[in-house]
């Protein structure tokens, strides 16, 4: 029988991050992954000969510089390609280029509204004044001030002290976590096109929200959560696809001695006298370990792996209530040519292709699309975020051919009155290609192959309950000390020696690496070992 200090269920990028830190600290670590490959939702696969696809996640905007530096990922195969600004076309022939430079962006906005252009620098200053506090919270272990225990009250007071310089900005943070994206943006902007362009990411692709849903404004923070000015550089596309992040992490974990098993489903955690002491695999094998760590979501970890028999009613209630509904889909295409966006002027950017393209015509269309998904129907005009990695990375497609990846909002997990069969998926493909053709006519003739992932497919392929890309909604009721559930947000669970390290934990989903980092820090603390990393965040 194999025995380890720690066994990790799932080799998503967070499981790999956690394993790397634990192994680096000298623990004997084993990772067990149900898929035949590591990476979870951060994978690259050659789906069609010569075409390498980032099957799920596709855009590196969140992987934290501290983790890249601590684990030396840039010397282990990670290469980030910076891309030109993104672009949003409108049917009236106008378009918006998202210049990172404030002056150019202000000029861009002035083409829609002079008043909004004047407001833009104030909006940027406002966001920049609150983002440092959010970034600092990422690496905090959530505290639980409600237990009444002196130790927890002291931790809460210590956190409050560390954050004391936030002052009255606490109300600004409060607003962005509680308001809708639309209401929040409306404080600065009036043009519907500007409101739509800035708020459209809150359109189902991030959860069961629309820009008019209270609490959806938090999405506006996501592109700012990573400091792109550090020595490890900015975000963008990853050479070879998002799987290259996971491959780099795998290399690091193995270098430090971690053992990795793929193609093995973990059926159950072995709990003896209230303590996790190993795992049972689908083939009957048993692995003993000093602690067990789950990279799976909350419902799977608590109900399938731990089991309700080890949980009290309060915990069962909380986990049952954990909101995981999703309306996000992903379509990956192999193409003869890239979309030719009518309103894109390559000379203005000095680039033949924009870095990525968002499609959202106006706020009414977005709301209508959201309502369709809530009613069990596919939206006729869904929100889309289109990336074209082959325009910037020659390794992902045969010469002269292209990869087009589309993340979309607005299709239900369960269709009303029908199944997600091949005919329904073909209908979704036609809708999405048609939506692109509104702004890039003729693109429908360029598609060679298509992979269509509905929320149900995402659930099945990635073991993400309901297909939620963040392992659960990230609104105020499910963040920080309530993620995944109240009283167990510090990467521990009610079972001694059983931890969680994935996106279901603070600070949530996205390829950030932070849940894996923070979980490793807590586990090493419990084992009386030093955390093998610098304190600074780079």
Ligand X SMILES: Cc1cc2nc3c(=O)[nH]c(=O)nc-3n(C[C@H](O)[C@H](O)[C@H](O)COP(=O)(O)OP(=O)(O)OC[C@H]3O[C@@H](n4cnc5c(N)ncnc54)[C@H](O)[C@@H]3O)c2cc1C
Instruction: Scan residues 362-421 and list those touching ligand X (CB under 6 A).
Output: 407
Residue 265 CB, shortest distance to ligand X, in Å, is: 5
Residue 3 CA neighbour count, 13 Å, CB half: 2
Site stretch for ligand X (CB under 6 A), options 54-62, 102-110, 177-185, 418-426: 54-62
Per CB under 6 A, 266 contacts ligand X: yes
Residue 110 CB, shortest distance to ligand X, in Å, is: 30
DSSP 186-229: TTT---HHHHHHHHGGGSSTTSS--TTSTTGGGGGGGGGSS-TT
Instruction: Scan residues 421-440 and list those touching ligand X (CB under 6 A).
Output: none
Site stretch for ligand X (CB under 6 A), options 19-27, 86-94, 428-436, 507-515: 507-515
Per CB under 6 A, 256 contacts ligand X: no
Site stretch for ligand X (CB under 6 A), options 184-192, 295-303, 356-364, 376-384: 295-303
Place of tokens 């906005």: 109
Per CB under 6 A, 511 contacts ligand X: yes
User: At what angle are helices 13-24 and 514-526 packed, to 10 degrees?
Assistant: 40
* Cβ atoms of residues 109 and 194 within 8 Å: yes
Among 219, 298, 415, 458, binds ligand X (CB under 6 A): 458
Q: Which is nearer to ligand X, 195 or 519 (CB)?
A: 519
Residue 17 CB, shortest distance to ligand X, in Å, is: 8
Per CB under 6 A, 491 contacts ligand X: no
Place of tokens 């610098």: 534
Q: Which is nearer to ligand X, 386 or 503 (CB)?
A: 503
Site stretch for ligand X (CB under 6 A), options 6-14, 226-234, 435-443, 527-535: 6-14
Among 95, 295, 332, 388, binds ligand X (CB under 6 A): 295
Q: Which is nearer to ligand X, 278 or 502 (CB)?
A: 502
Per CB under 6 A, 32 contacts ligand X: yes
Q: Mind spelling out the 3-state secondary structure of 322-343?
A: CCCCCCCEEEEEEECCCCCCCC
Among 114, 118, 154, 265, binds ligand X (CB under 6 A): 265
Per CB under 6 A, 481 contacts ligand X: no
* Cβ atoms of residues 354 and 84 within 8 Å: yes
Per CB under 6 A, 296 contacts ligand X: yes
Distance, CA of 373 to CA of 404 (rounded, Å): 24
Among 30, 503, 519, 533, binds ligand X (CB under 6 A): 503
Long-range contacts of range 217-220, CB-CB < 8 Å, 24 or more positions apart? 217/175, 217/176, 217/177, 217/178, 217/179, 217/180, 217/181, 217/183, 217/184, 217/185, 218/176, 218/177, 218/474, 218/475, 218/476, 218/479, 219/181, 220/127, 220/176, 220/181, 220/184, 220/185
**Number of neighbouring beta carbons within 10 Å of residue 197:** 23
From residue 256, alpha-carbon distances to 16, 71, 250 in Å are 12, 10, 10
Per CB under 6 A, 30 contacts ligand X: no
Instruction: Scan residues 268-287 and list those touching ligand X (CB under 6 A).
Output: none
Question: Cis omega before residue 147 (within 30°)?
Answer: no
Per CB under 6 A, 59 contacts ligand X: yes
Q: Which is nearer to ligand X, 27 or 505 (CB)?
A: 505
Place of tokens 């070992």: 529
- Cα Rg of the chain, angstroms: 23
Residue 68 CB, shortest distance to ligand X, in Å, is: 14
Composition of the chain by helix, strand, coil, percent to 5: 40, 20, 45
Per CB under 6 A, 489 contacts ligand X: no
Residue 201 CB, shortest distance to ligand X, in Å, is: 11
Per CB under 6 A, 13 contacts ligand X: yes
Per CB under 6 A, 472 contacts ligand X: no
The two tokens of residue 249 are 């992490």
Q: Which is nearer to ligand X, 185 or 206 (CB)?
A: 206
Per CB under 6 A, 510 contacts ligand X: yes
Per CB under 6 A, 14 contacts ligand X: yes
From residue 126, alpha-carbon distances to 53, 119, 130, 181, 184 in Å are 37, 11, 7, 15, 11
Among 258, 300, 319, 524, binds ligand X (CB under 6 A): 300
Per CB under 6 A, 222 contacts ligand X: no
Distance, CA of 491 to CA of 143 (rounded, Å): 11
* Cβ atoms of residues 446 and 408 within 8 Å: no
Among 24, 34, 66, 381, binds ligand X (CB under 6 A): 34
User: At what angle are helices 102-110 and 114-138 packed, to 10 degrees?
Assistant: 140
Among 6, 21, 29, 35, binds ligand X (CB under 6 A): 35
Among 23, 62, 292, 436, binds ligand X (CB under 6 A): 62
Collapse the DSSP code of 535 into the 3-class scheme (helix H, G, I; strand E, B; otherwise coil) and give the result: coil
Query: Could you list the residues that contact ligand X (CB under 6 A)?
Result: 9-15, 32-35, 40-42, 56-59, 62, 265-266, 295-296, 300, 330, 407, 458, 462-464, 469-470, 502-503, 509-511, 515
């Amino acid at each position: 029988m194999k025995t380890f200090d720690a066994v990790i269920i799932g080799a998503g990028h967070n499981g790999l991050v956690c394993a790397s830190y634990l192994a680096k600290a000298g623990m004997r670590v084993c990772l067990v992954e149900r898929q035949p490959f590591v990476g979870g939702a951060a994978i690259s696969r050659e789906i069609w000969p010569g075409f390498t696809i980032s099957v799920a996640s596709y855009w590196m905007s969140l992987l934290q510089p501290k983790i890249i530096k601590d684990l030396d990922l840039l010397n282990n195969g990670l290469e980030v390609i910076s891309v030109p600004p993104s672009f949003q076309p409108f049917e009236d022939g106008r378009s918006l280029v998202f210049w990172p430079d404030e002056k150019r962006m202000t000029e861009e906005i002035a083409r829609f509204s002079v008043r909004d252009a004047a407001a833009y620098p104030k909006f940027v200053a406002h966001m920049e004044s609150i983002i440092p506090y959010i970034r600092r919270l990422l690496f905090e272990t959530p505290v639980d001030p409600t237990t009444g225990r002196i130790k927890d009250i002291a931790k809460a007071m210590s956190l409050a002290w560390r954050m004391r310089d936030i002052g009255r900005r606490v109300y600004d943070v409060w607003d962005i976590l509680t308001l809708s994206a639309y209401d929040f943006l409306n404080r600065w902007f009036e043009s519907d096109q500007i409101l739509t362009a800035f708020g459209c990411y809150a359109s189902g692709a991030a959860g069961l929200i629309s820009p008019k849903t209270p609490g959806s404004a938090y999405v506006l923070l996501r592109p700012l959560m990573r400091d792109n000015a550090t020595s490890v550089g900015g975000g963008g596309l990853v050479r070879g696809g998002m799987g290259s992040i996971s491959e780099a992490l795998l290399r690091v974990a193995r270098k430090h001695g971690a053992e990795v098993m793929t193609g093995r489903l973990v059926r159950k955690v072995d709990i003896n006298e209230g303590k996790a002491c190993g795992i049972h695999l689908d083939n009957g094998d048993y692995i003993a370990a000093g602690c067990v760590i789950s990279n799976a979501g909350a419902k799977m970890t608590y109900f399938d792996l731990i089991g309700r028999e080890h949980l009290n009613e309060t915990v069962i209630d909380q986990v049952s209530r954990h909101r995981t509904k999703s309306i996000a889909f992903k379509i990956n295409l192999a193409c003869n040519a890239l979309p030719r966006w009518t309103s894109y002027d390559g000379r203005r950017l000095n680039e033949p292709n924009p870095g990525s393209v968002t499609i959202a015509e106006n706020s009414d269309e977005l709301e209508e699309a959201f309502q369709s998904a809530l009613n069990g129907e596919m939206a006729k005009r869904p929100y889309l975020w289109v990336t074209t990695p082959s325009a910037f990375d020659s390794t992902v497609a045969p010469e002269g051919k292209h990869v087009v990846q589309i993340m979309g909002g607005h299709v239900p997990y369960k269709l009303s009155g029908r199944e997600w069969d091949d005919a329904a998926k073909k209908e979704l493909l036609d809708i999405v290609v048609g939506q692109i053709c509104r702004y890039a006519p003729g693109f429908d003739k360029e598609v060679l192959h298509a992979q269509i992932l509905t929320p149900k497919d995402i659930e099945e392929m990635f073991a993400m309950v309901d297909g939620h890309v963040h392992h659960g909604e990230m609104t105020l009721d499910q963040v920080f000390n309530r993620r995944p559930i109240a009283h167990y947000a510090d990467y521990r669970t009610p079972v001694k020696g059983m931890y969680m390290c994935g996106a279901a934990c603070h600070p949530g989903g996205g390829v950030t690496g932070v849940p894996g980092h923070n979980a490793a820090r807590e586990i090493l603390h419990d084992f009386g070992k030093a955390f093998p990393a610098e304190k600074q965040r780079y």
